[in-house]
Amino acid sequence: MKKLFFALLVACAMNASAQEETKTKKLEGGKFRIALNGGFSRLLAKTAESVGAENKDYVSALKSGINYGVDGAYFVSNIIGVGLKFNQFRSSHEGLLTVGPGANANIKTDQVHTFIGPTFGTKFGSADNKHLFVFTSALGYMGFWSHNGFVKTTGDTVGSALDLGYDYNITKQFAIGTQISFVGGTLSNITYTSANGSVNEKLDKNNRESMARMDISFGARFSF
């Protein structure tokens, strides 16, 4: 994920430089852009081999969920912007989970992944200013929270995000758009909290928890 992040960062910079040199037609709209997003997500990591065959469907169900968030950017030039991104992924599943030899329990699990961090991006539009393409990269904080009614699991790490967006401008100040995002981070420490207290576990290299996912979202965009 980090390699993808830096690759997009370089691509954004090269694209911005090229467009500045060719003096692209000035895009209409303000220097500030706010995007409200919501949609569907899927975690991309494979199910750990330690998960028994009888529990794989339960774990797989938790990999699909919803996402929502807000992106704010200030364009310091016609096509180069910096800003802040906030995004959350949520999923929930209730069903039978094997908790021991011959023992099953009906358990509901909720989980939340939170990303927040600064962004760098670029944009370019069509000649008639009706269509706008936005490419953004971000690096920041990524948090994990899960609860199954008995144990709360938490963790945090450094995360990254790549956004590829398309806006259709209704007016100079308002647009509707869609976005594909790749968000990622790897947990190396996890804390388990129950009625008996808290326990911190440091995960070895082979058992670290990947939070990589793909988001497909839709929403409203405002420029001023």
pLDDT tens digits for 166-218? 999 999 999 999 999 999 999 999 999 999 999 999 998 888 999 999 999 99
What is the pTM assigned to this prediction? Answer: 0.85
Contact 140, 157 (CB under 8 A): no
Closest CA to 144 of 117, 97, 110, 119: 110
Measured distance CA(121)–CA(38) in Å, rounded: 20
Whether 13 shows a pLDDT value over 80: the answer reads no
Closest CA to 25 of 123, 119, 120, 121: 123
pLDDT, tens only, 24-59: 445 556 799 999 999 999 999 998 878 888 899 999
Contact 157, 206 (CB under 8 A): no
User: What phi-psi label fits residue 23: left (phi over 0), alpha (psi between -120 and 50 degrees) or beta?
Assistant: left
Output the pLDDT for position 129: 87
Closest CA to 204 of 223, 221, 187: 187
Whether 6 shows a pLDDT value over 50: the answer reads no
Measured distance CA(139)–CA(93) in Å, rounded: 30
